[in-house]
Structure 1
Amino acid sequence: MKPKAMIFALAALAAVPALAQEPPMETFNYPETKRLDVSEELFGRTFVDPYRWLETDLRSDDDVARWVTTQNALTRNYLDTLPTRDVFCDRLASVLDYEQATAPIKRANRYFFTRNATTTNQPALLVRDGATGEDQVLIDPNTWSEDNADALAEWSVSDNGKYIAYGVQSGGSDWRTIQVLDVDTQQVRQDEVKWARFTQIAWDKAGKGFFYSSFPEPKGDAGASAAVSGHAVYYHALGTEQADDRLVYSTPDDPKLLHLSDRSDDGRYLFIASTASVGVNALTVIDLSTEDWAPRTVVEGFDAEWSVVGNSDDRLFILTSDNAERRKLVTLDLDDAEGKVVEIVPEDDAVLTRAVLVGGRLIAYYLVNANTEVRRFNLNGTPEGKVDLPGIGSAAVMQGDAADTEAFFLFSSYNMPISVLRYDVDKNAVSTWFEPKVPVDLDRVKVEQRFYHSHDGTRVPIFIVRRDDVDAAAPTLLYGYGGYAVSQVPVYNPAQMAWVEQGGVLAVANIRGGGEYGRAWHMAGRLVNKQNVFDDFIAAAEFLKAEGITSEKGLAIQGESNGGLLVGAVVNQRPDLFDAALPGVGVMDMLRFHKFTGGAMWISDFGNPDIEADFDNLLAYSPYHNINPRPGVDYPAILATTAEADDRVVPGHTFKYVARLQAEELGPKPRLVRVEARAGHGAGMPLDKLVSLYADMWAFAARWTGLKVAPVK
């Protein structure tokens, strides 16, 4: 049982003795993993894959399931010997256990938002009638399963505030089942939509039905391994069967495309963004006031991003990267047969990341060295100053209506928990709507932004977070991602605070492949430029040591998904540089990633293994294929983590990677895998599973970086 959250001082109290770091187990007898060599000719070369059998879903293959059971037992036996694990487990249960809320969505003077009460595993969805009404729980996913591994996913409220359509995520899967709640009666209706995935939910203006995206129903038991193909937008009318849902838009001639739909605030238009890769899309508009709902593609091709911000009658406001790598705002008049685009807010030195139309104003979000700046404009693009923020940090896009002057957004930083702020458009004034109370003394946590140079002279930002009394070199956790234009911005992560308050350093590198400096920054870390991502991360590690931030034998690295690939690649390239590595749900086999579930969508960032030039580039850094024993060079301690229901990056990537790690002579440090049951790629994981996962990772990293850990009083 998790203790109630309470205020603690930081852990560096001289009177509290540090726990011993040496575990009793120093040799590792790995279970034998059978080799079933699969030999194939690829571009004139012979490749042998000895562990391909581990790609099979463990839930349908007894041999893989037995392998996972044996590996989990080895890992569990080792982690349970670490004396720091119990300390981290207790502390994480406290720092993760605090009340949090999302920005409310206002409908008919009702405010809808999610909030997790303390001691609960999953956040619930609540409603508040009026600005000062009582909060009432509408949907509580903690009642859905015994292990709380089923979670509330996407949700949308009808304009009249009477209905909520919401996705149910089961056991971490990307698949969704959409259900409908009657807000007044608090009864779940008979309406049910299955096989939704990568979807938004958008109600029609009258609240009679909603739009969603889904794939064809997989055949047999293939749901977990089904390919991402045939995505389409449908309309579900309340009170009807899913079989009768209206097909709104699809591209059977190009089944790899994803189609995401959203509706204009005035209810007239449905906007559909179609894409097969990050940062580029076609744009289709449907006039919902007509009976035929005929789609009109206003932007063809996939050369730039085109995101509709809002509309004023037939005039669309669009954020685009067309001839603007850091994006700009334009208008497009649907009455104009030529579809002429007019620039209203030009490209800036800062990166325009998002925009929204609320209260008759355009609110634009910019990144300035990975920090958020919010600016406002009138509908002609005339600047009207900035929106005051509480400090240096990150702001999420406002929830609001084009005609309503009240909007809400989230704000956070590394040492500032996520708060909900209310924005009065007329007064250009920000006030606090919800501020969490966290059980960490954040006044003693300092945040610095530094810059270092990569191998080719590129200047890269890095955030450094540590206690205000940590001035000497200390064990450090270096985090990175580097892909898909995803920016690493300052945001509060309570699990990371459990590391920092023990005297450890947290470093987050804004390496290429992300979106911190626009499209060029992303392009510099994708396809043939992917090695820049790894070089930037290696340079970050060297910088931390050269600057005396990291202790000489005290550097752990962490990354998840594309960041798991990052960790696996740099460990192979510079095993001498790192002391512990935590690759999570990583893409580890770069020659076969496109053959599983949605992997083909990643070709836009990685390249296509079926094309020789791309194949050669991928082979050069693929973590699975580049594990390389070198005389006198030991690999760091490695704890790879994944989950049995991950249908985005299938766990077979990690299984094969760890099997090969254990089969090679790479030194005496452990090379282990941790496989979570009833979990997926990360979203929806219940609080108790998160506590256990981070306790294992931090205890492992502490053991191999020398972090001295003490109970927090």
Structure 2
Amino acid sequence: MIAALGRCRLIVVLLLLGLPAGAPSAAFAAGPSAPQYPATPRVDVVETQFGEAIADPYRWLENDVRTDKAVAGWVEQQNAATDAYLAKLPQREWFTRRIRELMDYERFGLPQKAGGRYFYTRNSGLQNQSQLFVRKGLAGKPRLLIDPNTWASDGATALDDWAPSRDGKLVAYAVQDAGSDWRTIRVRDTKSGKDLADELQWVKFSAIAWIGSEGFLYSRFPAPRDGAQFQEASRGQAVYFHRIGTPQSADERVYATPDRPELNHRARVTWDGRWAVITTSQGTDSKFELHAIALAGQLRGRLSASMQRDWAAVELVGGLDDNWRLIEGVGDSLWFVTNAGAAKGKVVRADLDRFIPPGRKNGHTPSLGCGPVDGEPCGTEDDPPWTFHDVVPERVDTLTRGQIVGDRLLLSFLKDASTRAEMLSLDGKPVQAIRLSAIGTASGFSGRPGDAETFYTFASFNQPPAVFRFDSRTGKSLPFAVPRVSFDPADYEVEQRTFTSRDGTRVPMFLVRKRGIAQAGRAVPTLLYGYGGFDVSQVPSFSAVRMAWLEAGGAFALANLRGGGELGKVWHEAGRLANKQNVFDDFIAAGEYLIARGVTPKNSLVIQGGSNGGLLVGAVVNQRPDLFAAAVPQVGVMDMLRFDRFTAGRYWVDDYGYPSKEADWRVLRAYSPYHNLKAGVAYPPVLVTTADTDDRVVPAHSFKYAAALQAANPGGKPHLIRIETRAGHGSGKPTDKVIEEGADILGFLSAWSGLEVDPRP
């Protein structure tokens, strides 16, 4: 009743002003006034860093909410104040209902083929977690194999990564609880549907790479100290081989760098089972080392005794200088996508036959005769025992991915941040382009040499992911699973525009609106989203939450900021380390463009970003508080002087720099959201969101920032924090929580932007 009365009052105000519902003005009825914030004690913590005294009065909020009663009490009080505020928002009820309706459609994951079986995930619509199904043959009857919805009463335990063995008789799968980055790997028998006794702990940032049906490679960390698993820095990852039917304590260490514990390692096995490739990284920067392990003895039956003893890894690429991603292997040749000497990417082939001992050809399992086991170098720098050949040279568009399907290379490019796919021969000769229906994102195309069949998804802002089956022999795509939705995608217009940033750089941006709004040129409340970091490309995708905002009559803009990977290596470099301010300048310029071009009224521009995007939102709110009507920083990195001390934070120095180095520290100090809040500034309404089990960006970042924001402007507009329980950085979040969080965010943003539900097309 309160929400309904609130909506009626807002419509009356708009009508009295002679404005249609959905059109904001400078006099629109804003959201409820700020509540009285819970008291947040300050502590006397001041540290001198590079000659400057840095106060950290909320250091105590870094303690773990699960073990510190004071922090837990603060969280409870903040949530109570926020929940009471959000309950008053007039549009929240409508957004809750509509997001739920928009999410209620059948959706499928990409099928994986193994041993004549097809494995894929499916969600009937509103299930908290997607289930894993299997069918014999493409037209076989689906059978439920794994149902994570039975694992936890609150739906917060999720099925994460999964991989069938090559014969399809077993599936190794990873369990994620409460949104944490930690995973537990289990193994299920496909025929019986029952789990084996195998259980692997302390797995994080890992792939699952089967070697025949005997076992698989995976990556794990040493067990953390008791009570420190959600805060302790992640170090010492190693690749292990787990043999089915044995305890984890018997797993063989395959590859590790104990003298360099900061390195991470992931393993892949080529489909023919001849090679394992270890990809090594130091942080989030897309620069890798590569090592190859010859899996001799062949893997169709039992593993050989020598394989149990000898995992000799030979360096293919060292130095952590460039991006290298394995496409696939055929025989003794490996194909890679790399930006070594090609900023927008190219395809190369490594021929490794020169260091394969003759005995390997006869099916024996000798040592490689070189490398770390034998102590002899494998060739010299001038004459290595393998050769790299360019297969597909660098192009104007950014090469993002490659696959081998049948006897074809399938390559995906980004052209203006939208996908373009192409099929070539294995020696790089063009065969045909793969036609996509509209501006959007195609992903998948996973397959294997010798099998012409693959699957891919296509999605856009106005189109949920549809799954297609692609035949690389004919070049034809056929629908496998196309969702039925409760709206007409044709009612929405997706545009690509460019705007000019502060230094003159032209920056691309997507703009999505109802077609009628776009054609009439009406200015409406606009939600601007950005990320700008870690070489991550922001591409068209579907979100039921975002669609609810569009249905209500708002516009959505996605800016392809520097720091991302949309335009290749140079674009990423232009937004990292000492260039980070470019990201904030780009985002501010995007907002100014939307106002200047009449997309949105000045007082109706709202912003949102998550993780590194949460940092972005916090920074630009500090730098241009006048520009934005409201802001939502989600799971953001807010303390840039201490980010590297917790969990995965140490990886981010590649993009942010080292707080321990003065030059980097001064850059970080200049934009750190927590450290640049100033008393008395009229900050816009801010809803901070985080989660108690976020062990990627620990919630202390958001806790400290929200406390400082409330203290800086206690009598101003609302500055709230929403703290989810049994949730993490975002992955694995149950549908119910997605709906609740989405309605809270959109209810908050609509109240402060003047967006009122507009039924017109």
Q: TM-score range by the shorter chain?
A: over 0.9
Q: Secondary structure at the residue paired with 1:179?
A: strand
Q: Residue type matched to 2:329 in 1?
A: N
Q: Residue type matched to 1:704 in 2?
A: W
Aligned equivalents of 2:679, 2:753: Cα separation in 1: 22
TM-score (norm 1): 0.96
**1:55-99 alpha-carbon deviations (Å, 9 max, x no partner):** 111011000000000000000000001121111001111111211
Q: Quote the residue 1:670 is aligned against.
A: 718
What is the CA distance between 1:316 and its match in structure 2? 1.2
Q: Secondary structure at the residue paired with 2:92?
A: helix
Q: Quote the residue 1:11 is aligned against.
A: none
- The equivalences for 1:390-401 within 5 A come to 390-401=437-448
Q: Quote the residue 2:702 is aligned against.
A: 654
2:418 to 371, 382, 389: 371
Q: Is the 8 A contact 2:22 2:553 kept in 1?
A: no
2:337 is the alignment partner of 1:319: yes
Q: Is the 8 A contact 1:354 1:397 kept in 2?
A: no
What is the CA distance between 1:667 and its match in structure 2? 5.8
Deviates more, 1:575-584 or 1:115-124: 115-124
Q: Is the 8 A contact 1:150 1:168 kept in 2?
A: yes
Deviates more, 1:703-712 or 1:100-109: 703-712
Gaps of 5+ in 1: 1-13
Q: Secondary structure at the residue paired with 1:325?
A: coil
1:694 to 742, 754, 757: 742
Q: Is the 8 A contact 1:271 1:284 kept in 2?
A: yes
Q: Quote the residue 2:452 is aligned against.
A: 405
Q: Residue type matched to 1:317 in 2?
A: W
**RMSD of aligned alpha carbons:** 1.8
What is the CA distance between 1:44 and its match in structure 2? 2.0
**1:8-57 alpha-carbon deviations (Å, 9 max, x no partner):** xxxxxx9x988998578424311111001211121122211100000111
Q: Quote the residue 1:52 is aligned against.
A: 59
Q: Secondary structure at the residue paired with 1:279?
A: coil
Aligned equivalents of 1:517, 1:269: Cα separation in 2: 32
- The equivalences for 1:233-632 within 5 A come to 233-277=239-283, 278-289=285-296, 291=307, 292-336=310-354, 337=379, 338=384, 339-470=386-517, 471-629=521-679
Aligned equivalents of 2:759, 2:404: Cα separation in 1: 49
Q: Is the 8 A contact 1:23 1:82 kept in 2?
A: no
Aligned equivalents of 1:226, 1:152: Cα separation in 2: 24
**1:399-439 alpha-carbon deviations (Å, 9 max, x no partner):** 21111000001111111210111110100111111101112
Q: Secondary structure at the residue paired with 1:625?
A: helix
Aligned equivalents of 1:388, 1:25: Cα separation in 2: 49
Aligned equivalents of 1:19, 1:330: Cα separation in 2: 54
2:680 is the alignment partner of 1:680: no
Larger Rg: 2
Q: Is the 8 A contact 2:439 2:494 kept in 1?
A: no
Q: Quote the residue 2:5 is aligned against.
A: none
What is the CA distance between 1:241 and its match in structure 2? 0.3
Aligned equivalents of 1:125, 1:594: Cα separation in 2: 37
1:353 to 1:34, Cα distance in 2 relative to 1, 3 A: same
Q: Secondary structure at the residue paired with 1:300?
A: strand
Aligned equivalents of 1:50, 1:226: Cα separation in 2: 22
Aligned equivalents of 1:237, 1:446: Cα separation in 2: 52
**1:585-610 alpha-carbon deviations (Å, 9 max, x no partner):** 00000000000011010000000000
TM-score (norm 2): 0.90
What is the CA distance between 1:695 and its match in structure 2? 0.2
Aligned equivalents of 1:672, 1:310: Cα separation in 2: 48
1:24 to 1:579, Cα distance in 2 relative to 1, 3 A: closer
Deviates more, 1:107-116 or 1:387-396: 387-396
**1:101-150 alpha-carbon deviations (Å, 9 max, x no partner):** 11100111211011111231110001111111111111010000000000
Aligned equivalents of 1:459, 1:531: Cα separation in 2: 16
Deviates more, 1:613-622 or 1:101-110: 101-110
**1:367-426 alpha-carbon deviations (Å, 9 max, x no partner):** 111011111111111111211222221111312111100000111111121011111010
Q: Secondary structure at the residue paired with 1:708?
A: coil
Q: Residue type matched to 1:649 in 2?
A: V
Deviates more, 1:333-342 or 1:123-132: 333-342
Aligned equivalents of 2:140, 2:337: Cα separation in 1: 36
Aligned equivalents of 2:758, 2:258: Cα separation in 1: 59
Aligned equivalents of 1:347, 1:373: Cα separation in 2: 15
Q: Is the 8 A contact 2:186 2:198 kept in 1?
A: yes
Q: Quote the residue 1:642 is aligned against.
A: 690
Aligned equivalents of 1:656, 1:126: Cα separation in 2: 43
What is the CA distance between 1:552 and its match in structure 2? 2.0
Aligned equivalents of 1:355, 1:18: Cα separation in 2: 45
Aligned equivalents of 1:234, 1:24: Cα separation in 2: 54
What is the CA distance between 1:318 and its match in structure 2? 1.2
1:711 to 1:656, Cα distance in 2 relative to 1, 3 A: farther
Q: Quote the residue 2:219 is aligned against.
A: 213
Q: Secondary structure at the residue paired with 2:353?
A: coil
Aligned equivalents of 2:538, 2:31: Cα separation in 1: 38
Q: Secondary structure at the residue paired with 1:495?
A: helix
Aligned equivalents of 1:620, 1:18: Cα separation in 2: 39
Aligned equivalents of 2:443, 2:407: Cα separation in 1: 19
Aligned equivalents of 2:445, 2:23: Cα separation in 1: 46
Aligned equivalents of 2:655, 2:147: Cα separation in 1: 38
Deviates more, 1:385-394 or 1:499-508: 385-394
Aligned equivalents of 1:68, 1:475: Cα separation in 2: 32
Aligned equivalents of 2:583, 2:159: Cα separation in 1: 34
Q: Is the 8 A contact 1:91 1:712 kept in 2?
A: no
Q: Is the 8 A contact 1:149 1:684 kept in 2?
A: yes
1:403 to 1:682, Cα distance in 2 relative to 1, 3 A: same
Q: Secondary structure at the residue paired with 2:548?
A: helix
Aligned equivalents of 2:65, 2:51: Cα separation in 1: 33
Aligned equivalents of 1:415, 1:25: Cα separation in 2: 32
Q: Is the 8 A contact 1:87 1:710 kept in 2?
A: no
Q: Is the 8 A contact 2:90 2:751 kept in 1?
A: no
Q: Quote the residue 2:80 is aligned against.
A: 73
Aligned equivalents of 1:480, 1:116: Cα separation in 2: 28
Q: Secondary structure at the residue paired with 2:113?
A: strand
Q: Residue type matched to 2:137 in 1?
A: G
What is the CA distance between 1:312 and its match in structure 2? 2.1
1:312 to 1:119, Cα distance in 2 relative to 1, 3 A: closer
Q: Secondary structure at the residue paired with 1:572?
A: helix
Aligned equivalents of 1:441, 1:639: Cα separation in 2: 31
Q: Residue type matched to 1:296 in 2?
A: V
2:42 to 11, 17, 35: 35
Aligned equivalents of 1:662, 1:644: Cα separation in 2: 20
Aligned equivalents of 1:563, 1:299: Cα separation in 2: 32
Aligned equivalents of 1:711, 1:120: Cα separation in 2: 28
Q: Is the 8 A contact 1:273 1:282 kept in 2?
A: yes
1:706 to 1:177, Cα distance in 2 relative to 1, 3 A: same
Aligned equivalents of 1:639, 1:402: Cα separation in 2: 49
**1:615-655 alpha-carbon deviations (Å, 9 max, x no partner):** 0000000000001245xx52110000000000000000000
Q: Quote the residue 1:6 is aligned against.
A: none
